[in-house]
Amino acid sequence: MEMLSILVIALSSCVLLHCHEAVEGSRYPETGNSECRILEQQQPYLPSFHFRPPQNWLNDPNDAFASAAAAAGPMWYNGMYHLFYQYNPEGPLFGDKMVWAHSVSRDMIHWVDLDLALTPTEPFDMKSCWSGSITILPGNIPMILYTGIDSNGVQVQNLAFPKNLSDPLLEQWEKSTRNPIMTPPQGVPGDFFRDPTTAWRDPGPDGKWNVIVGGLIKNEGMAILYQSEDFVSWTKVEHPLYSSPGTGMWECPDFFPVSLNSSNGVDTSVVDPSVKHVLKISSFSNVHDYYVLGSYAPKTSKYVPDNEYTGSSTDLRYDYGKFYASKTFFDQPKSRRILWGWANESDTMEDDLAKGWAGVQAIPREIWLHSSGKQLVQWPVEELNKLRGQHVQVLDEKLHSGSVFEVEGITASQADIEIEFELHSLEESAEVLDTTGTDPQQLCSDSNASVRGGVGPFGLLALATKELTEHTAIFFMIFKGSNGFVVLMCSDQRRSSLRDGLDKTPYGAFLDIDPQHEKIALRTLIDHSIVESFGGGGKTCISSRVYPKLAINSEARLFVFNNGTLDVAISSLNAWSMNTAQKNRPTQSYALLD
């Protein structure tokens, strides 16, 4: 069971490191403070309130939980969140010897870096310590399950535990002498067996522990299921928890319940008629995070999804942009489930080498089941709001066809915007669209913010220059479908930068709302090189990475626009400048932990 005193969020193949001075006994490389200040001043793409590395490489958050599991991610223990994450201490590219770094926080916004938690030292992890998770056992004992790359290059699963449970920072970890505790089963290639997730326990006093590991057999992706009575000796169940032919390798699987009756989160081990179960899959072949909703039967150890996973554009996704290798955890003190995800770079390896860092964690999001029971909803954690600074408000503004107006009075390169649009006379203006077999991302690619439409495009132009030669467009278009109106949400990066060699792929998804009876709400977080957008109160989320050449720092601007023929009303717009989150080494300051 998950205990009240611990929350863990695991970031698996993640890596990041903050600027700091060398500390005696530390395994972090030295970076002088003055050098770091220069680094940050000269780096317009370095996010200010996202968890990121001022130097070196960061990727997947792999697990999160309260007193029950996490690996390379966050955990709550004795009043603090612990974030474990995969890190390359040698540079800003994915490395040959990945390690687990470790940071702590009171609020998941301000962080203090600790020494590395796991490094390659043994035959069972000699070539890398990859993703995993933490599960809190009875007695508040956190246990790490992680993937080690052994001396032969084979992916195996290992166990580690704290050396000193009385240490609230959990700074030192010891590897089990029983490692490896899981090796690739028959038919699973040695390089396609990884990322053990948060374990859950079957009901009853003698319930077994269950954990899934991502795997592949002949291009059939699967969540390989193991069971244990003591968390050390594990037996593979004959059948996977779930699999789907032709979907390729599944990385970083996540499995957790969500309440049918409330937006509150529930313990990972809850199994009863009041919940549905979510199985999340990180697709290695297309680098997207998909999920299915369904029913879990502990007696048969089987999971039956409401709709099969196919790996196509019709499948549900957490985020329709740059968001991968995500992991949730149950934050028991606040009765919520939190989602972390990795927003990887869209520039080149040469760019990453030049700037000296790569990878950002998306803002942690609360996640729950929508009242329809058909999809999940996400929203930035409430703790982020305390970074809000200068505030600007606009009420009851009419956006005429072809109009653009600037939102002034905030720092547009580091901002939080919430806006609600209201529309009338849709029947007369909406263009007809047959959505059968329509890929919304392709639809966004075929459109753009400057092309006139019927209802839309309308929305925001973020990180824009005054003349709009550079901008990232987050916008909506509304069509008339066979069963009512269809809302398309797009994030278009094609004019985000005058620089060449960047991935400027436009992203898009349908937003399940009724625009005749509901306002169209949008929240967008802008942090220099990352833009996260939440449509319809978090029903559709799109994250992007952008690298403007001109619209940087104080030169960035924010606009609202309408290029549809139908006028659009802004019911309300609230925009805030965002302050910078603090990150320190313990030798510099423990104040963030007070």
Residue 299, sorted as left (phi over 0), alpha (psi -120 to 50) or beta, turns out to be alpha
Calculate Rg over the CA atoms of the chain.
Answer: 23
Name every residue whose Cβ is closer than 8 Å to that of residue 491 and which is 6 or more positions away in sequence.
Answer: 320, 321, 444, 472, 473, 474, 506, 507, 508, 531, 533, 542, 543, 544
Angle at CA of residue 86, ends 548 and 283, nearest 5°: 75
**Residue 60 is a catalytic residue:** yes
What are the residue ranges spanned by the domains of the chain?
7-380, 388-578
pTM (2 d.p.): 0.93
Residue 76: per-residue pLDDT: 74
CA distance 112 to 101: 12
Instruction: State the CATH class of domain 7-380.
Output: mainly beta
Choose the catalytic residue: 60, 254, 319, 331. Answer: 60
Question: Assign residue 148 a region: left if phi > 0, alpha if psi is -120 to 50, beta otherwise?
Answer: beta
In b/e form, how buried is each residue of 475-496, taking b as 16+ CB within 10 angstroms?
bbbbbbbeeebbbbbbbbbebb
Structure tokens at 569: 């009303």
Main-chain phi, psi angles of 149, to 5 degrees: -95, 110
The CATH classification of domain 388-578, taken from the options 2.60.120.560, 3.90.226.10, 3.40.50.720, 3.10.20.740: 2.60.120.560
Q: How far apart are CA 172 and CA 71, in angstroms?
A: 15
Measured from the Cβ of residue 426, the count of other Cβ atoms closer than 10 Å reads: 16
Q: What is the spatial distance between Cα 417 and Cα 578, in angstroms, rounded to a whole number?
A: 10
Q: What is the DSSP secondary structure assignment for residue 593, as one 8-state letter?
A: G
pLDDT of residue 60: 66
Q: What average pLDDT values come out for the chain (594 residues) when binned by 10 residues?
A: 37 36 39 44 90 80 40 66 90 95 93 93 98 92 97 99 93 98 98 97 92 98 98 98 98 98 96 97 97 97 97 96 94 93 96 94 98 98 99 98 97 99 94 92 94 95 99 98 96 98 98 97 99 99 99 98 97 99 70 66
Which residues are paired to 373 by β-bridges? Answer: none
pLDDT of residue 588: 57
* Consecutive H or E run containing 82: strand 80-88
**pLDDT the model gives residue 53:** 67
